[in-house]
Structure 1
């Protein structure tokens, strides 16, 4: 069984942009969205697609299953997604021996920038880059699932980014 162990932070400056090793354009939607589980479809760079199932949430850890699917199936599922379709660019930034993924949101969530670091073990304690702001691990308001299922207001969107 696959496990996802990650910490999430707001980003407080653009210094990370100097250290980007790769970027990907992501479009994703939720087929199922429950408190303790979700089914997400994601299209990457208009070339590949995955279906991801996430179940449970204990601390920083949850079960995660991911499968490649056809672009045709992914596009059809995106059209039938619940809530909003999330659009963002993900940037990979290496720091302190860890891969940080910085998501710059577009559309309804433009202005929100979040960084995630995936861990091997929940006890891992990576050094935080200087551009990292407030930790928001476990704050559902910053989960892609919540962002897709909630209708943002401009003021709330600004509040989310301002707390970095």
Structure 2
């Protein structure tokens, strides 16, 4: 199936990831729909806008349908106003490590204190090296999905 996203998620146990970061971008995102079968996200990443539809995850939580398209910044801003109540804000760091790029999200606002790293893979069984700052794996744990963090933020756990 085209448009499959295969990724694994981890908590981050130290700020050492910042030493290897090649980019740092502010992200603001909201959800037009948070149903796990069809999540619809609006994102402003830097000066660009995106509309993303994600399907339901497989049993392990590593794979799901994802379709994304770029939209104008002004369109994204208008759509954010239509989103469900909580808007997520985070700083994303891109950190290359031994052939993979780890996207590390340092959350702000109601999710401040939560830092999650994701690595995209070519297939579910792909072997990859884990940097020392990577902590506990949370792949498939729905409470760490951004759509759920918008409903049940980290500060309320």
Same-fold call, TM cutoff 0.5 = yes
CA distance in 2, matches of 1:143, 1:57: 11
SS in 1 for 2:140: coil
CA-CA distance at 1:14 after TM superposition: 1.1
Alpha carbons 2:54, 2:64 under 8 Å: kept? yes
Name the residue aligned to 2:102: 100
CA distance in 2, matches of 1:89, 1:153: 16
CA distance in 2, matches of 1:124, 1:132: 17
SS in 1 for 2:86: strand
Name the residue aligned to 2:16: 15
TM-score, scaled to structure 1: 0.90
> CA 1:93/1:75 → structure 2, altered by over 3 Å: closer, same or farther?
same
Alpha carbons 2:111, 2:154 under 8 Å: kept? no
> CA 1:153/1:142 → structure 2, altered by over 3 Å: closer, same or farther?
closer
Name the residue aligned to 1:53: 53
CA distance in 1, matches of 2:11, 2:150: 18
Matched, 1:4 2:5: yes
Q: Whose helix proportion is higher, 1 or 2? A: 1
TM-score, scaled to structure 2: 0.94
1:59-78 alignment, distance < 5 Å:
59=60, 60-78=62-80
Q: Whose strand proportion is higher, 1 or 2? A: 1
RMSD: 1.2
**Alignment length (residue pairs):** 154
CA distance in 1, matches of 2:85, 2:55: 19
Name the residue aligned to 2:150: 148
CA-CA distance at 1:35 after TM superposition: 2.3
1:111-150 alignment, distance < 5 Å:
111-150=113-152
> CA 1:154/1:63 → structure 2, altered by over 3 Å: closer, same or farther?
closer
CA distance in 1, matches of 2:20, 2:74: 34
CA-CA distance at 1:92 after TM superposition: 0.5
Structure 1: gaps (5+ residues): 157-164
Alpha carbons 2:3, 2:66 under 8 Å: kept? yes
